[in-house]
């Protein structure tokens, strides 16, 4: 039912191209999962989402448990039917909310107690409850409940959260009973390489179907994140998928792929789209800028998305200036298409064993274009 087959490896890096098979279809990796936190990728019907090239999407246990409730989703046919998405779905466990809602969360060995950001009612999320919710939702991949802390944090707080995450992972493993749902463990350890290695080894001994690297992209410099991937990825089973949670920028994706990561998710493409920032190989394009008012060119003439095939920069700017909802929708589609094309190009480069050259060319181009844009803005 679940299978992960590495088909190609880059000869000059740890990048690998694989196929991850799930009950709702196969995913060619490396792959980027659009974020559908509350059962929807904001503003996008599934037809547009599929058109971007998305193969697998992410939804969130905590938010769906609050509204509409896991039992309601089950009564409506499960998460796939509820969303109208027939491809693979991964659900986060709610562990990230321990970090993001820290001011209204109390963590004990038993679990985390939240004060709902919706109506203020108390919600207890234990490892067992997190698994129960995800099994009720019916996602293809469920995540263990982990304890995420901000970075930097005191070493004792990082160690405590890391060790608790290992114990919670064991409890999640014990609670999981669905054969048609793969449970992924999450490596924690902050920016301590020894903790990361110890955590990875503990979790590897439990033989999970997949492994994630969590607790990164929470305030640390990118170089520190890459350093943690350098020590963590080699400790994870080569025969299992590796998922870098909540990451990231196009640069982050290429850097992580070269280190052997297979799956990603992040709100960057859709959040930027809603805020009038279009992503291109020539650097970000701020669609509200006055210079686009009479521009008849598309965002990117090589892009197959509806925004680029049918509309000018001038029209897209107009949509944002008058507050029309179509602007954020079109730019979200464009940015997700940009991400999916980048991942498709990465897979092709790995298959041709030229990933390192491909990544270096992309990174150099983006660095030069970003530098040029900064100079232009300073002189404006």
pLDDT in tens, 302-337: 999 999 999 999 999 999 999 999 999 999 999 999
pTM of the model: 0.95
Query: How far is the C-alpha of 176 from the C-alpha of 193, rounded, in Å?
Result: 29
Residues of the chain with CATH 3.20.20.105: 3-266
Q: Which helix (H) or strand (E) holds 187?
A: strand 182-187
Residue 92 is a catalytic residue? yes
The whole-chain average pLDDT of the chain stands at: 94
How far apart, in whole angstroms, are the C-alpha atoms of residue 353 and residue 221? 29
pLDDT at 202: 98
265: annotated active-site residue: yes
Query: For residue 101, what are the contacts with CB-CB under 8 A and spacing of at least 6?
Result: 114, 117
pLDDT at 252 over 90: yes
User: CA–CA separation, 310 vs 35, rounded Å?
Assistant: 25
380: Cβ contacts below 8 Å, ≥ 6 apart: none
Q: What is the mean pLDDT of residues 210-220?
A: 93
Region 3-266: CATH code: 3.20.20.105
User: pLDDT tens digits, residue range 147-193?
Assistant: 998 888 999 999 999 999 999 999 999 999 999 999 999 999 999 99
Identify the H or E element spanning 149.
Answer: none
Q: Which of 10, 146, 252, 265 is catalytic?
A: 265
- 91 pLDDT more than 80: yes
Name the pLDDT band for 376 (thresholds 50, 70, 90).
very low
* pLDDT tens string 329-373: 999 999 999 999 999 999 999 999 999 999 999 999 998 876 555
Beta strands 141-143 and 16-22 are unpaired
Percent of the chain with pLDDT over 90: 87
Q: Is 122 exposed, middle or buried (0-12, 13-18, 19+ CB in 10 A)?
A: exposed
Q: Which residue out of 10, 92, 252, 262 is catalytically annotated?
A: 92
Distance CA 112, CA 94 (A): 10
DSSP 223-285: HHHHHHHHHHGGGS-TTS-EEETT---HHHHHHHHTTT--EEE-SHHHHHHHTTEE--TT--E
pLDDT of residue 101: 73
Q: How many CB atoms lie within 10 A of CB 277?
A: 17
């Amino acid at each position: 039912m679940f299978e992960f087959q590495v088909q190609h490896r880059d000869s000059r890096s740890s990048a690998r191209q694989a196929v991850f098979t799930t009950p709702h279809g196969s995913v060619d990796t490396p792959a980027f999962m659009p974020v559908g936190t509350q059962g929807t990728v904001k503003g996008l019907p599934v037809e547009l989402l599929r058109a971007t090239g998305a193969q697998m999407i992410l939804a969130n246990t905590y938010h769906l448990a609050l509204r509409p409730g896991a039992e309601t989703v089950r009564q409506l046919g499960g998460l796939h039917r509820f969303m109208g998405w027939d491809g693979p779905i991964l659900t986060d466990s709610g562990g990230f909310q321990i970090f993001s809602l820290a001011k209204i969360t109390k963590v004990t060995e038993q679990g985390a107690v939240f004060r709902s950001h919706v109506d203020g009612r108390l919600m207890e999320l234990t490892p067992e409850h997190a698994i129960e919710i995800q099994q009720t939702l019916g996602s293809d991949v469920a995540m263990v409940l982990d304890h995420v802390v901000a970075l930097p944090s005191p070493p004792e707080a990082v160690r405590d959260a890391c060790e608790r995450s290992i114990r919670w992972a064991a409890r999640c493993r014990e609670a999981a009973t669905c054969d048609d749902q793969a449970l992924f463990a999450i490596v924690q350890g902050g920016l301590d390489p020894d903790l990361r290695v110890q955590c990875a080894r503990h979790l590897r001994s439990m033989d999970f179907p997949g492994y994630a690297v969590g607790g990164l992209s929470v305030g640390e410099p990118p170089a520190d994140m890459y350093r943690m991937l350098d020590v963590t990825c080699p400790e994870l089973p080569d025969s299992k998928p590796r998922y870098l949670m909540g990451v990231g920028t196009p640069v982050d994706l290429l850097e992580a792929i070269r280190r052997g990561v297979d799956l990603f998710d992040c709100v960057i493409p859709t959040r930027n789209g809603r805020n009038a920032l279009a992503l291109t190989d020539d650097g970000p394009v701020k669609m509200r800028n006055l210079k686009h008012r009479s521009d008849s060119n598309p965002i990117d003439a090589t892009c197959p998305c509806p925004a680029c095939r049918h509309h000018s920069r001038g029209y897209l700017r107009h949509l944002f200036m008058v507050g029309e909802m179509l602007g954020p929708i079109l730019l979200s589609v464009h940015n997700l298409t940009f991400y999916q094309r980048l991942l498709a190009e990465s897979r092709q480069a790995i298959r041709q064993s030229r990933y390192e050259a491909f990544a270096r060319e992309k990174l150099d181009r983006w660095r030069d274009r970003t530098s040029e844009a900064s100079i232009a803005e300073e002189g404006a």
